[in-house]
């Protein structure tokens, strides 16, 4: 089950969410195109007036400031590196975060 702690949902709602997830996974595994599955999901959501979906841009640093930090890491410490092990990746991330931590001027703060 994807909601080991319940996720604030009733057992009935958890079961419904799990069935919906499994249906989408099965359709994807059968080779059905993602846009078709997404279209069906949009139609399903549109038929429910209690459900509101907010579409967010794929990259929205003003909505998620952490994206700016990841952007710095991707352009600097993580670019053009072939990581040999997961530990190597973690080491580079930590080194980059430490560098950013001591040079806070690298992070642009969005005015509110």
Q: What is the pLDDT of residues 60-104, one digit of tens each?
A: 767 777 878 888 898 888 888 898 999 999 999 999 999 988 887
Residues 50 and 84 in one domain: no
What contacts 98, CB < 8 A, 6 or more positions away? Answer: none
Residues 78 and 41 in one domain: no
> Has residue 70 been placed in a domain?
yes
What is the extent of the structural domain holding 96? 66-106
Place of tokens 């352009």: 75
List % helix, strand, coil for the chain (3-state, nearest 5).
55, 0, 45
Is a pLDDT exceeding 80 seen at residue 58? Answer: no
Distance in angstroms (rounded) separating the CA atoms of residues 70 and 105: 15
Q: Which helix (H) or strand (E) holds 88?
A: helix 86-102
Residues 49 and 7 in one domain: yes
> Has residue 4 been placed in a domain?
yes
Residues 32 and 71 in one domain: no
Residues 45 and 10 in one domain: yes
Q: What is the pLDDT of residues 4-26, one digit of tens each?
A: 555 667 888 888 888 888 888 88
> Has residue 61 been placed in a domain?
no
* Mean pLDDT on 34-49: 86
> Has residue 60 been placed in a domain?
no
pLDDT for res 50: 82
Closest Cα to residue 78, out of 58, 99, 62?
99
pTM of the entire predicted model: 0.45
pLDDT for res 3: 46
> Has residue 51 been placed in a domain?
yes
């Amino acid at each position: 089950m994807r909601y080991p702690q319940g996720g604030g949902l009733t057992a009935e709602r958890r079961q419904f969410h799990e069935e919906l997830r499994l249906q989408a996974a099965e359709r994807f595994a059968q080779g059905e195109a993602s846009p078709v599955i997404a279209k069906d999901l949009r139609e399903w959501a549109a038929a429910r007036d209690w459900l509101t979906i907010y579409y967010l841009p794929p990259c929205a640093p003003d909505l998620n400031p952490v994206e700016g930090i990841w952007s710095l890491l991707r352009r600097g410490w993580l670019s053009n590196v072939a990581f040999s092990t997961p530990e190597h990746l973690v080491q580079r991330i930590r080194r980059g975060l430490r560098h950013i931590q001591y040079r806070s001027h690298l992070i642009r703060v969005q005015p509110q």
